[in-house]
């Protein structure tokens, strides 16, 4: 069964200027799919369309057969960045209690599974980028989602923390059997955790298993000649 189906979706912020142009694909259930593309390629816009935060200008989106708006209780979402007043006095535990009616024990158990059980009494404004991302993942898991969307989740994490983070996503996918959809501008992440890759640069340039879909000419189309030249030189 497909967790998500997108048919002929286009999107314009300004009339007649497409950010997403006639994109169609499906995402299999209980797998990890990564949307890649360069900066400004429309990945985040597409993700916001998939979770229902934006309405497509044309086309349809179905999450488990329903409109995203009607599936919000089954969707987990980790934004690229959480913009909030860093001086605001709210603890991690209080923040997580806002999500739903989970008990403190359930929250602590989820925090443990994302390696952040010691952060419960900390103020969220005092957390590092990586710690905050873990808390946002914990929060998204509290509602027991069927599908988890992550928007550039390692953007606030240093290189050494990235690998740990990808391992965490892998563990979560296996432990909770959740469908993972992740947006990234990094090609390298695909080979590490993706079952499926979708390449976006306003329109869809590839879709399928990473080994079959991520051909050198596709990467060149996505990131330009220099990237492929660099890769060839490395080889």
Partner 1 sequence: MITLELLQLEFMQRAFIAGIFLAPLLAVLGSFVTLRRMSFFADGIAHASLLGVALSILVGVAPFGGALIIGVVFGVLIFLLERYTSIASDAVIGIIFTTGLALGIILISLQSGYQPDLISFLFGNILAITWSNVWMIGILSAGILSTVILMFKKFTLTSLSEELAWTSGISTTYVNLLFYVLLSVAVVLGVKLLGIILVSALLITPPVTAKLVTGSFRSYVMASVVFSLIAFIGGLFASYYLDLPSGASIVMSASTIFIAVLLYTKILKKS
Question: Considering only residues 50-69, where is the footprint of partner 1 by CB under 8 A?
Answer: 51-53
Return the residue of 18, 28, 31, 90 that touches partner 1, per CB under 8 A. 90
- Residue where the block lists tokens 């740990």: 164
231 binds partner 1 (CB under 8 A): no
Of 72, 47, 215, 60, which is closest to residue 140 (Cα–Cα)?
72
Nearer to partner 1, 55 or 158 (CB): 55
104 binds partner 1 (CB under 8 A): no
Return the residue of 31, 99, 213, 227 that touches partner 1, per CB under 8 A. 99
Return the residue of 84, 177, 217, 232 that touches partner 1, per CB under 8 A. 84
Q: How far is CA 139 from CA 144, 151, 204, in A?
A: 10, 15, 31
4 binds partner 1 (CB under 8 A): no
- How many angstroms from the chain centroid is the CA of residue 127? 21
Nearer to partner 1, 77 or 223 (CB): 77
Nearer to partner 1, 52 or 59 (CB): 52
Binding mask 137-176 for partner 1 (x = CB under 8 A): --x---x---------------------------------
Q: Which residues bind partner 1 (CB under 8 A)?
A: 51-53, 72-73, 75-77, 79, 82-85, 87-91, 94-95, 97-100, 123, 139, 143
């Amino acid at each position: 069964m497909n967790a998500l189906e997108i048919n002929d979706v286009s999107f314009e912020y300004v009339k007649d200027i497409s950010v997403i142009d006639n994109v169609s694909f499906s995402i299999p259930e209980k797998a990890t799919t990564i949307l890649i593309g360069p900066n400004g390629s429309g990945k985040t816009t597409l993700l916001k369309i998939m979770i229902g935060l934006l309405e497509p200008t044309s086309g349809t989106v179905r999450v488990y057969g329903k409109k995203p708006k009607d599936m919000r209780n089954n969707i987990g979402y980790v934004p690229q960045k959480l913009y909030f007043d860093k001086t605001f006095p709210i603890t991690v535990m209080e923040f997580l209690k806002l999500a739903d009616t989970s008990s403190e024990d359930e929250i602590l158990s989820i925090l443990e599974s994302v390696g952040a059980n010691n952060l419960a009494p900390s103020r969220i404004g005092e957390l590092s980028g990586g710690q905050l991302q873990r808390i946002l993942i914990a929060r998204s898991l509290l509602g027991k989602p069927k599908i988890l969307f992550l928007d550039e989740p390692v953007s606030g994490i240093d290189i050494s923390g990235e690998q740990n983070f990808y391992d965490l996503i892998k563990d979560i996918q296996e432990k909770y059997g959740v469908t993972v959809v992740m947006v990234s501008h990094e090609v390298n992440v695909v080979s590490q955790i993706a079952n499926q890759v979708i390449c976006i640069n306003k329109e869809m340039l590839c879709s399928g298993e990473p080994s079959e879909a991520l051909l050198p000419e596709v990467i060149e189309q996505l990131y330009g000649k220099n990237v492929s030249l660099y890769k060839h030189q490395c080889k």
